[in-house]
Chains A and B, each alone.
Chain A
Amino acid sequence: MRFWRRRRHDHVDPLVCREFVELVTDYLEGRLPATERARFEAHLAECDGCEGYLADIRAVAGSLREVPTPPADAATREVLLNAFRELRES
């Protein structure tokens, strides 16, 4: 009896690449339910193509985070500081 149940439980359809790419963001956001995450990770472990795809998406997100923000320009700061002074006094 136990054995039968386990088999049924373990019998989840393996993920294919076409599904994998659609789950990448949910995975990275930690939003996949446990079963789905297990399917995702099982596929990841055996598929070089999908491993590379996930690494690409991670690299895109990580590299965007490194895009430098230009400093606020001095003239703008001056104008805004004057506005702050005037508006806060009135």
Chain B
Amino acid sequence: MAIEKLKAKLIKQMLEKGILDLKKVLEVDAKNGRISIRGERMLLTSALGFANLHGSVQKIAGKAAPAIIRGYGSSCGKRDFIGVWKAWLPDIEVETVLSLFPVIYSTVGWGKVIGVSLGQDEGRIIFKNCFEADAVLRTCGKRDSPQCHFMTGYLGVLFSQMTGKDWQATETGCEAKGDEYCEFALTTK
């Protein structure tokens, strides 16, 4: 467990100092039309695509659109837990996750994590400049309800997988509706 903590500390320092330069780890194989990071195929596309996803799903499913987008977020959260978190730090503890969370998600461009906390039955995660809210805001303008459905699905599953408890994430504040931050409340089901 001490090794895991040391490893986590090193990853954190590396990311904070910008040593992990995404341009350097990105393998571009233009000949075969592939780009990848550590063998995993990546796709570079505009974050605004998320707003298109929202719009298209809403056109078909109406008020139920958040259920589908949340489901997509949940499956990505589960995949990232296994493919990233568990792959890097197999015996990771919640405390370590909380300390690494801000720097990891800021590095991959999901937004600036202002705060993350997790207690026995509730938790809170605050993002500034969240990509999903930003995409919706830039494409559709200010909305009257929270819009980060992918994020709620993703965060709920990610923390459930990490803690072994069943968490549900609810967005209580969203930049797409004019709030200063996107704020996610975690509650046990």
Bound pair: A and B?
Answer: no
Residues of B near any A CB (own CB < 8 A): none
